[in-house]
Structure 1
Amino acid sequence: MSDITHLLIPYAASASEGAQQALAGMALPHLDRLLARLSPAGTHPGEETSFSTPHERALAQALGLPHEDGRIPWAAWHRHQQGLPTDGQAWAFLTPCQWQVGADHVTLRDPDHLMLDEAASRALLAIVAPWFAEDGIALHYDQPTRWLAQGEVFNGLATASLERVLLRDVRPWMPDVRAARTLHRLHSEMQMLLYTHAFNDERAARGLPVVNALWVHGTGALPTPAPTPTTTAAAAAPTVAHQLRDAALREDWRAWATAWAALDAGPVADLLRQAESGTPVRLTLSGERNALGFHSAPRGLGQRIQSLFRPQRFSSLREQL
C-alpha cells in the first residue's frame, strides 16, 4: 500500500450553473487519459447538505479514521499527529470568525479576512477561555484562526465542516440544539461578550474586522488504539490537491477553470506518467455530494477492448460528483 501514489482532488465539480458552463468549454486531456487507464474503486456517497464534505470522508477513510458524517475527529487526529496525547478524550477545532448579518441570512466570512496574528488570537483566547472552562471545556492555542478545544460535549457530536459553511448562511449548518445545548448557550454568551469588548473596539479603531462568533468543527475522539501507519492505510495517505478550493468556495468559476487547467497539466499529468510507467496509482475526484475513487487494477481483455470504444472521461462522470 505504501508504494501507491494517491491523488485526491476536492471541488472537482459543482452543480452550479457557472461551474457547468465552465466545464462545458474546458479540456482536461491528462485527466481523460488517466481515467481511461484506471478502474472504479468505490464511491463516497453523500448529499450537498452533509456536514462533512466528500473529500473529508474519503481522506478520513484512507487514514483509518471514523468517517461518519459530521463526526470525523479531525481535531483529535491533529493533536495525535503532533505527538500529543488525546487520552481517548473528545476534541474539537474552534475557529474565531465573523458572522455578517443580512436581512435574510447570516454569512460566515472567511476567517483569513480577520487578519488575526498570533498575539491577537492568544489575547482573544485568554478572554473567552474562562467562560468555556466553566462548562468543562479546555481551550488550547493552535494557530491564529484555529484553536483546540477538549470536552465531553464534543463526544459523538455532529458538526459541520468549516468548508461547508464558509461564505454561506450558517443557520442550516448549526449543530443540533438538543445535542449541543451548552455550545449554543456559550455561543450566545460569546456574541454578547465580544459585541462590546475592548478587544473589538481596538480592532475597529484600527480598521480591522471584528470577531463576533466562533465555529466548532472536527469533533470527536480517536478510536483506541489510535490509527498508525502500521495498522491502517495512513502510510499511503492521499496527496490532497487544494488548487480548486478557494475559487470554488468563492464561486469564481473562471478562476476555477484556470486552476483546473493548471492541475491537469501538473499533478494529474504526473500521476498519468506514473500510471503509464506501470506504477500503481489511485485517484479520488470529489464534488459537493460524492467522491469517486479510481485505481490501477488488472483488466480483462474484454474490459480493455471496451475501454477503447467507450473510454471513461471526466465529462461523463462530473454529474455523479
Structure 2
Amino acid sequence: MSDTTHLLIPGAASASEGCQQALQNLALPHLDRLLARLSPHPTGSDSGEETSFSAPHERALARALGLPAEDGHIPWAAWHRHQQHPSTDGEAWAFVTPCQWQVSTDHVTLRDPEQLGLDEAASRALLAIISPWFAEDGITLHYDQPTRWLASGPLFADLATASLERVLLRDVRAWMPHAQQARTLHRLHSEMQMLLYTHAFNDERAARGLPVVNSFWVHGAGALPASPPPGAAAPTMPTTLRDTALREDWRTWAQAWATLDAGPVADLLRQAEAGAPVSLTLCGDRNAQAFHNAPRSLARRFQGFFRPLRATDLLKTL
C-alpha cells in the first residue's frame, strides 16, 4: 500500500561471534511488542550469503523502489542519475569511489573513503587526473560527490559489482568483479596504482599528513529497465546499526539498537496500535525478513498469544 509506513533496518544482526554475544543481553521491548502485532510478509523473506555482492538491505530497498534486485546487478548509479536527469534513461552507469587500498603481506584492505579528507576541490582535481585514462576505454566520469563519482559506458551494462559496504575494511580480492567480465577494470586498477603512486597529487597530500589515494571501487553498476519504475516512496532506513556493525563495534551497536527501539521502532508500534498500515524489514549480513500488519487468522492469533516471537531470537537468524 502506498500509504504504508515502512521501516527498513540494515545491520540489525550479524553472524559474527561478537554480535551473537551482544544479542544475549539485548533488551528490545518495543520491537518485541511490535513483532507480536505483525505477520511475516508472504514475499518478504530473503535468504542469502555473507559473500553476496549486494547486502540484504540493498535488495530489500531495491524491491521497495521497484528496481531489479538481482545480486550484484542493482542499478543504483543509473537510478541516482534518473532522479537528476531522466533523459539519460537506458544508459549504463556505475558509481566510482576514489579510495585507498592498504596492502599487507596477505591482505589488500579498502580503507574507509570518508577518512581520506577529500573535499570537492581535491576530488575534482583527482577526477581531472584520471578521467583521460578511463576515457580511452569508453568510460566517461562525472563528478557527483567528493568520495563518489558517476561513470557511464557500455562496460557497466551487465557488470556484477559488490557494494562499497560489502568490501569496506575488508580484503578487496574476495569482492572484485569476475575477471572475464572485468578485464578492463582490472587493468585500470593496475594503471591507477602506478599513476598515483608517485603523482604530485599524492605527494602534496602526504606533505599535509593526509592519506594518499591509490585506487578506486566500482559499485552500483547497471542500466534501468526500458520503463523505469515510477518514483516510489523510499522506506525510512536508519543506518546507525549498519555503520557500527561494519566496524564490529558491538558495544556501540547494542547501544544504537536500544536507541532505535525507543525511537523509530516505538513510533512504528504506536502507528500499528492505532490501526495504521505499517511494514518492518529487518536485515542482517545474510538474510532479511519483512513483516506487516495484515489481518491474521484466529488460529494464528491464538498461537501468537502463547508463543510470542522474541526479537533477539529472530535477530539471531539474520
Give the TM-score normalised by structure 1: 0.97
Distance (Å, rounded) in 2 between the aligned partners of 1:198 and 1:182: 25
Do structure 1's residue 227 and structure 2's residue 229 form an aligned pair? yes
Indicate if the aligned counterparts of 1:4 and 1:281 stay in contact, CA closer than 8 A.
Answer: yes
**Structure 2: which 5+ runs fail to align?**
none
Do structure 1's residue 282 and structure 2's residue 284 form an aligned pair? no
Q: Which residue of 2 aligns with 1:162?
A: 164
Q: CA deviation at 1:315?
A: 2.1
Distance (Å, rounded) in 1 between the aligned partners of 2:90 and 2:62: 18
Q: How does 1:82-121 map to 2 (within 5 A)?
A: 82-121=84-123
Q: How does 1:146-157 map to 2 (within 5 A)?
A: 146-157=148-159
- Percent identity, aligned pairs only, is 77
Runs of 4+ in 1 over 3 A off after TM superposition: none
Give the number of equivalent residue pairs. Answer: 316
Give the aligned CA root-mean-square deviation in angstroms: 0.9
Distance (Å, rounded) in 2 between the aligned partners of 1:152 and 1:203: 34
Distance (Å, rounded) in 2 between the aligned partners of 1:134 and 1:210: 24
1:244 aligned counterpart, secondary structure: helix
Q: CA deviation at 1:6?
A: 0.2
Q: Which residue of 1 aligns with 2:31?
A: 31
Q: What code does the residue aligned with 1:11 have?
A: G
Q: Which residue of 1 aligns with 2:310?
A: 313
Query: Among 104, 121, 124, which residue is 1:122 paired with?
Result: 124
Q: What code does the residue aligned with 2:199 have?
A: H
Cα deviations across residues 67-108 of structure 1 (Å, max 9, x unaligned)? 110000000000111234323011000000001111211110
Distance (Å, rounded) in 1 between the aligned partners of 2:279 and 2:251: 28
Give the TM-score normalised by structure 2: 0.98
Distance (Å, rounded) in 2 between the aligned partners of 1:154 and 1:211: 23
Q: Which residue of 2 aligns with 1:17?
A: 17
Distance (Å, rounded) in 1 between the aligned partners of 2:13 and 2:186: 34
**Structure 1: which 5+ runs fail to align?**
none
1:289 aligned counterpart, secondary structure: coil
Distance (Å, rounded) in 2 between the aligned partners of 1:245 and 1:291: 13
Query: Among 188, 191, 194, which residue is 1:189 paired with?
Result: 191
Q: Which residue of 2 aligns with 1:246?
A: 243
Distance (Å, rounded) in 1 between the aligned partners of 2:207 and 2:6: 48
Cα deviations across residues 259-290 of structure 1 (Å, max 9, x unaligned)? 00000000000000000000010000000101
Q: What code does the residue aligned with 2:82 have?
A: H
Indicate if the aligned counterparts of 2:12 and 2:242 stay in contact, CA closer than 8 A.
Answer: no
Indicate if the aligned counterparts of 1:10 and 1:242 stay in contact, CA closer than 8 A.
Answer: yes
